[in-house]
């Protein structure tokens, strides 16, 4: 008789304690343990043979998606809180507002280093507890910035980055364990809408709060919101972190292991390289869109800001649309390659914008760049989770994100260097288009992995 294999998540759905993990890090359910959504018996249950059991899994997966998305929104809003009021902060520091670029770079340096440690921390403390720690670090960083001195604001950027980096590896581990594989593209994309949503929230709410409470008070409100989200996630902690290994080492060996996971897996190496380029393009769009529209075609600041808003809203929509497309087509790598070509076309169109263009055409270009350069992340993260070995989604995501954040740090710097050298943004956009097109073509021609690493 066929024996049902159980995992900690399915046992949690039934209200039973999870088994102890073996030295290999897998639940002691036997060599044939299947993921929560796998196997013919699971498919039979999904057709109604055990409706309460199936409904419990769906309910848990939905709650995990809501919680991880809320965490992503809160940490993204924290990361962009001080940049959204950069003129006010810069005035208190006696610095030019353009120094916000250095703040962002410091933040993502911290994020890149912390992302490498994320996979190991997931094993030790659990993915949800790590997410709560990330929210607490974001709040601590915003509190540190209350003392308006250059060293402390720089420290605040690093601390917030340390909280921002591990959020995605932790959420990837949670979603990989609770999501139906047939819906991974959509679910990961929905969760990743938290980044542009948090960015938009910071841009809309923080300046308004600053007018009422000052920029310090506004930062404290966002810090409090981060702590509230961490508190709201607590009821799920025992259920979702049942697989943690309390004796797992906390050292830089975990960071090296995350890099080794990427290095030994051809599919992950390709995805990490692609993410470096795409993330660089994404940050260039977010960082330079307003300045470009003001300086080149001469749009008023308000309309240039509208262009950035359109790009972020298109990014939210794009993440969902591309996630659905990846699930329907079952060819996420091909979709990522096409998105690279679409980024290139959008960047070339941006290079051609002049003062004679109608506003609708300019906003359409912003929308194309947003939907592609800001909308690719969910498909990418879902593919990383698919390629990774079972139980290594967090490690694989952390290792890949090290390279992703590297693009975030380096891309805008190179874009700005090209602009200053040429005295125009046009060569920067043309160069970015060529790199994105070449990356998309390379991904399309590369051989997809035959199996997991």
On the question of pLDDT at 291 being above 80, the answer is: no
Say if 107 falls within a structural domain: yes
Residues 224 and 338 grouped into a single domain: no
Distance CA 97, CA 90 (A): 5
Say if 32 falls within a structural domain: no
Least-confidence region, from 194-208, 244-258, 261-275 = 244-258
Residues 198 and 345 grouped into a single domain: no
Say if 36 falls within a structural domain: no
Paired with 27 in beta bridges are: 21
Instruction: Report CA dihedral (249, 68, 273, 389) to the nearest 10 degrees.
Output: 60
Q: In a 10 Å sphere around its CB, with 0-12 CB exposed, 13-18 middle and 19+ buried, how is residue 50 labelled? A: middle
Say if 383 falls within a structural domain: yes
Say if 42 falls within a structural domain: no
CATH code at position 108: 1.20.1250.20
Higher pLDDT, 165 or 275: 275
Least-confidence region, from 36-40, 82-86, 130-134 = 36-40
Residues 236 and 256 grouped into a single domain: no
Question: How many C-beta atoms lie closer than 10 Å to residue 430's C-beta?
Answer: 17
CB within 8 A of 182, min separation 6: which ones? 37, 327
pLDDT given at position 350: 94
Q: What is the DSSP letter of 16?
A: P
CB within 8 A of 437, min separation 6: which ones? 340, 341, 344
Distance CA 164, CA 137 (A): 8
Both structure tokens of 442: 């390379």
Say if 438 falls within a structural domain: yes
On the question of pLDDT at 365 being above 60, the answer is: yes
pLDDT-based confidence at residue 42 (cuts at 50, 70, 90): very low
Q: In a 10 Å sphere around its CB, with 0-12 CB exposed, 13-18 middle and 19+ buried, how is residue 116 labelled? A: buried
Classified as helix, coil or strand, 447 is: coil
Residues 235 and 314 grouped into a single domain: no
Distance CA 69, CA 24 (A): 30
Residues 161 and 104 grouped into a single domain: yes
Residues 66 and 109 grouped into a single domain: yes
Least-confidence region, from 82-96, 107-121, 237-251 = 237-251
Q: What is the mean pLDDT of residues 282-301?
A: 82
Say if 270 falls within a structural domain: yes
Q: For the chain, give the percent of residues with pLDDT over 90.
A: 31
Residues 225 and 264 grouped into a single domain: no
Which residue range is the domain that position 347 belongs to?
Answer: 251-453
- Rg (alpha carbons) of the chain, rounded to whole number: 22
Q: Do residues 394 and 122 touch, judged by C-beta distance below 8 A?
A: yes
On the question of pLDDT at 415 being above 60, the answer is: yes
Residues 231 and 312 grouped into a single domain: no
Residues 183 and 266 grouped into a single domain: no
On the question of pLDDT at 316 being above 90, the answer is: no
Among candidate residues 214, 244, 274, the one where a domain is terminated: 244
pLDDT given at position 347: 95
Say if 37 falls within a structural domain: no
On the question of pLDDT at 2 being above 90, the answer is: no
Classified as helix, coil or strand, 46 is: helix
Residues 255 and 390 grouped into a single domain: yes
Both structure tokens of 25: 């890090």
Among candidate residues 244, 270, 285, the one where a domain is terminated: 244
Q: How many CA atoms lie within 13 A of 133 on its CB side?
A: 16
Among candidate residues 244, 277, 292, the one where a domain is terminated: 244
Q: What is the DSSP letter of 47?
A: I
- Domain total in the chain: 2
On the question of pLDDT at 47 being above 90, the answer is: no
Residues 141 and 76 grouped into a single domain: yes
Residues 272 and 156 grouped into a single domain: no
């Amino acid at each position: 008789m066929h024996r049902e294999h159980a995992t900690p998540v399915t046992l949690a759905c039934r209200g039973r304690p999870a088994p102890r993990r073996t030295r290999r890090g897998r639940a002691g359910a036997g060599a044939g343990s299947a993921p929560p959504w796998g196997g013919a018996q699971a498919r039979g249950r999904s057709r109604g043979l055990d409706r309460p059991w199936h409904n419990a899994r769906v309910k848990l997966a939905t709650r995990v998606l809501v919680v991880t998305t809320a965490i992503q929104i809160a940490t993204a809003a924290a990361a962009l809180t001080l940049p959204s009021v950069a003129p006010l902060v810069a005035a208190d520091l006696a610095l030019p507002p353009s120094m916000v670029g250095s703040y962002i770079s410091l933040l993502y340096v911290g994020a890149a280093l912390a992302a490498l440690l994320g996979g190991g921390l997931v094993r030790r403390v659990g993915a949800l507890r790590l997410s709560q720690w990330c929210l607490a670090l974001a709040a601590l960083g915003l509190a540190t910035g209350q003392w308006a001195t250059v060293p402390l604001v720089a420290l605040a950027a690093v601390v917030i980055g340390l909280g921002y980096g591990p959020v995605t590896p932790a959420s990837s581990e949670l979603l990989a364990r609770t999501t139906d594989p047939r819906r991974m593209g959509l679910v990961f994309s929905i969760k990743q809408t938290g980044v542009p949503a948090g960015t938009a929230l910071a841009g809309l709410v923080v300046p308004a709060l600053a007018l009422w409470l000052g920029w310090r008070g506004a930062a404290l409100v966002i810090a409090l919101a981060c702590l509230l989200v961490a508190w709201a996630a607590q009821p799920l902690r025992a259920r979702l972190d049942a697989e943690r290994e309390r004796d797992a080492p906390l050292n830089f060996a975990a960071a090296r292991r995350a890099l080794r996971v990427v290095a030994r897996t051809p599919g992950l190496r390709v995805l990490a390289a692609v993410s470096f380029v795409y993330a660089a393009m994404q940050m260039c769009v977010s960082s330079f869109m307003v300045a470009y529209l003001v300086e080149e075609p001469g749009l008023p600041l308000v309309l240039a800001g509208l262009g950035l808003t359109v790009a972020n809203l298109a990014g939210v929509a794009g993440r969902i649309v591309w996630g659905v497309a990846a699930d329907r087509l079952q060819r996420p790598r091909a979709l990522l390659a096409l998105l690279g070509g679409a980024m290139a076309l959008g960047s070339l169109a941006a290079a051609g914008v002049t003062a004679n263009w109608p506003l609708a055409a300019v906003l359409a270009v912003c929308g194309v760049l947003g939907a592609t350069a800001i909308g690719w992340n969910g498909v990418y993260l879902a593919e990383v989770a698919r390629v990774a070995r079972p139980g290594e989604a967090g490690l694989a995501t952390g290792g890949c994100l090290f390279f992703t954040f590297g693009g975030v740090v380096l891309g805008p710097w190179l874009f700005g260097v090209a602009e200053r050298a040429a005295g125009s943004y046009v060569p920067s956009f043309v160069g970015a288009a060529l790199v994105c097109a070449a990356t998309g073509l390379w991904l399309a021609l590369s051989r997809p992995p035959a199996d997991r690493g």
